[in-house]
Amino acid sequence: MNQVIRLMKRIALSPLFWIITICSSIFFLENSDLSNYFLISDFATNFPSLSLSGQYYRLLTSLFLHTGITHLVSNMFLLIILTWVVSPIISKALYLSLLLLSGVLGNLLADVLIVSLVNSDGNYWSFLTTFGYSHGIVGLSTSITGLYIFTLIIFVFKTSKDLPQKKFRLSALIFVSFIGILSLILNFIWGQWFTITAYVHFFGGLVGGMLAFIFLYRQHKKLPQFTIQVQHPDD
Give the model's pLDDT for residue 228: 36
Give the model's pLDDT for residue 8: 74
Give the model's pLDDT for residue 84: 92
Give the model's pLDDT for residue 145: 96
Give the model's pLDDT for residue 229: 41
Give the model's pLDDT for residue 14: 87
Question: pLDDT by residue (tens digit) across 112-125?
Answer: 999 998 888 766 77
- Cα 86 to Cα 84: distance, rounded to the nearest angstrom: 6
- Cα 212 to Cα 150: distance, rounded to the nearest angstrom: 5
Positions of the chain with pLDDT lower than 50, given as ranges: 225-235
- Cα 48 to Cα 50: distance, rounded to the nearest angstrom: 5
Backbone angles phi, psi at 137, to 5 degrees: -145, 145
**Mean pLDDT across the chain:** 85
Question: pLDDT by residue (tens digit) across 88-101?
Answer: 889 999 999 999 99
